[in-house]
Amino acid sequence: MNSLSCHFDHEGSLINLVIINMANFKSLSYVIQLEAAGVSRQQAQVHAQMLQQVYDEEHSQYATKADLQCLSNFLENKISSEIADVKALINECKQDFAECKKDFAECKKDFAECKQDIAECKRGFAELRADIASIKISHKYLIWIGGGIATMCASAIGMCVSMFLYSLK
- In the chain, where the domains are located: 2-102
Relative to beta strand 14-21, strand 2-8 is antiparallel
Please give the pLDDT value at position 22.
42
Query: Residues with Cβ < 8 Å from 20, sequence gap 6 or more?
Result: 2, 3
Taking each continuous run of H as one helix and of E as one strand, the counts in the chain are 3, 2
E-strand stretches of the chain: 2-8, 14-21
Grouping H, G, I as helix, E, B as strand and the rest as coil, residue 8 is strand
Separation CA 140–CA 112 (nearest Å): 42
Please give the pLDDT value at position 23.
47
pTM of the model: 0.42
**Amino acid, single-letter form, for residue 78:** K
* pLDDT, averaged in runs of 10, over the chain (169 residues): 49 47 67 86 86 80 83 93 96 96 95 94 90 79 82 84 75
